[in-house]
Amino acid sequence: MIHIVFNQVEVELMQQVTALDETLQGPVVQIRDDFAVGPLAGLDTEEGWQARLDWWRELLKGAPYPDDLVGSFDDRKTVAALKAQLTADPEEVIWIWMGQNQHDVCGYYWLIPQLKEFQGRIMVLYMNNLPFINDKGQIFYPSWLSEIRPSEFLKARKLARPVTLSEFEIDPDEWNKLVQENAVVRILEGGKKIAGRDASFYDDEILKNLTGEWQKATRVLSNTLNRMKIKTGDLFIMWRMKELITAGKITAEGETDKDWKSFDVRLAGKKETAEELAADAGS
């Protein structure tokens, strides 16, 4: 069997899981793009795919990641390789592991239309409103697979079921709706229902972590990512922070066009501190 996950941290996690149960052994493959944000129009064309890559490259400016990160992988080639394996080995099956979050569900919606010809050999395990036991022995409902202990997956494996013929008909329609809407942000409203939102959806989360005092932009970024309930990635949040600076809602000091550590931020419109007023008077 081949295991599919949607987050880098889950690759190692699933390798730990498969090591606990030899019946689960098989390669772990990641779909790497985050289809919960960014343009989706025309991804079945080179022009549409390139437009999405260009969007990600804009967000990557100044980020602590390699400049060539975008384009260093191609999920389309990953799927082509999966289909080739399924074609070559009629006994091969795929297990898709999904957490209850928009990132995994959007990745699933992008993936599933491409596997329709293998109906009956595509399994799905969706951790939707399922209780698990954490390290303290307490019951909780995880949103992400990485929140689940490896040993707990051995119970979850019993929930594996084939993607039904009906789902292979309906789920591609859901993906087409997302493509038609082409919202910048997509969130999970429950079950597998995805709803589009404006690019500004996370702005309030950023602003809540700002005051009239100067802070490192990276500190605001970290606090926002840790405190927000509906998660997204650091590239998107930093992009929105810069957009809020451009819009005049955040004041910045330093060089925002360089790396993320090169500037400080605070809420716009706040009174200057006594030290700043004194410095201005002496200049």
Q: What is the CATH number of the domain that holds 162?
A: 3.40.1360.10
The pLDDT score that the predictor gives to residue 60 is 94
Same domain, 138 and 231: no
Question: Strands, DSSP E only, in 11-114?
Answer: 28-30, 94-98
Structure tokens at 231: 């998660």
Same domain, 170 and 204: no
The pLDDT score that the predictor gives to residue 270 is 67
Domain that holds residue 41: 2-179
Mutual angle of helices 165-181 and 102-111, in 10-degree steps: 110
Same domain, 11 and 72: yes
For the chain (283 residues), the mean pLDDT of every run of 10, in chain order, is 96 93 93 97 95 96 89 93 98 97 98 96 94 89 93 87 95 96 96 96 97 96 96 97 96 93 92 51 49
CA-to-CA distance for 206 and 140, rounded, in angstroms? 27
Same domain, 31 and 159: yes
In a domain, 187, yes or no: no
CATH of the domain at 270: 1.10.10
CA distances (Å), origin 94, targets 34, 68, 89, 130:
20, 30, 12, 22
Phi first, then psi: give them for residue 160, nearest 5 degrees: -60, 130
Number of domains observed in the structure of the chain: 2
The answer to whether the beta carbons of residues 203 and 238 sit under 8 Å apart is no
CA-to-CA distance for 255 and 17, rounded, in angstroms? 45
Same domain, 171 and 252: no
- Residue where one domain finishes, among candidates 179, 212, 228: 179
The pLDDT score that the predictor gives to residue 49 is 96
- CA-based nearest residue to 145, from 34, 29, 11: 11
The pLDDT score that the predictor gives to residue 71 is 81
- Residue where one domain finishes, among candidates 129, 144, 179: 179
Beta-ladder partners of 3: 28, 95
The pLDDT score that the predictor gives to residue 283 is 45
Residue written as token pair 């500190």: 219
Q: Is the pTM of this model over 0.75?
A: yes
- CA-based nearest residue to 230, from 199, 186, 174: 186
